[in-house]
Amino acid sequence: MSTGQIPTDDTPAEAPRHEFQVTESREVFAGRIISVRSDTVTMPGGGTSQRDVVEHPGAVGVVALDDSERIVTVRQYRHPVRRRLVELPAGLLDQPDEPAVEAAKRELVEEVGLEAERWDVLVDGLISPGMANETIRIFLARDLRAVEQPEAEHEELDMTVEWLPLTDAVDAILAGGIENGMAVMGILAAGEARRRGFEGLRPADAPWPSKPAAGGQG
């Protein structure tokens, strides 16, 4: 039976492996949410190469599943793609030292006016590791109840909320109707978790090695 463990980058290799060392690093852009740095990195076989890195604070998302096996989604305008996308309730890890699950709880209330009694880690992901350090953690929230929702602002003023049967959401992904990376990852993971009877999920405070150090341990 599988243990769910796969070899990691720390697994001993048969031959020595190259150590990618940064010989120079400089910040080239600092924005409201992201920054960009340019690193000079040693390459296998000698020499160096430039690697530009987008630094991101990380984010959390929530698959909120009700007793009828429906999930709550939001449709939100995303300026880089100039479209409204079907997404999960989600938000940045922008409050120092806030545990990831607490950030997820806050976003669930703020975006869709829900609280949940049961929280589990559903899946972790590195969104675009070829160019960014952005990492996300998606939680499964169950035993839901409605609560008062704070007033929205900016794009969230235009955001709409929709409940979808989990099966329909999976079908929508396979048909190309849901494209947001976090939503795709979380919904497919939730579908598989349901198939397994929700066995083997990690606790809400499970270690999160990829979480940005500035936010503390997840």
Tell me which residues are annotated as active site.
156
Whether the Cβ atoms of residue 112 and residue 71 lie closer than 8 Å to each other: no
Q: Which residues have a Cβ under 8 Å from the Cβ of 150 and sit 6 or more positions away?
A: 109, 110
Q: Which residues have a Cβ under 8 Å from the Cβ of 147 and sit 6 or more positions away?
A: 109, 113, 114, 115
d(CA 23, CA 30): 21
Q: Sheet containing 135-146: give its strands across.
A: 90-92, 59-64, 135-146, 114-126, 202-203
* CA angle at 122 for the pair 75 and 72, rounded to the nearest 5°: 25
Where does residue 20 fall: left (phi above 0), alpha (psi -120 to 50 degrees), or beta otherwise?
A: beta
Nearest C-alpha neighbor of 87 from the set 108, 102, 115, 56: 108
- Is beta strand 59-64 parallel, antiparallel or unpaired with respect to 135-146? parallel
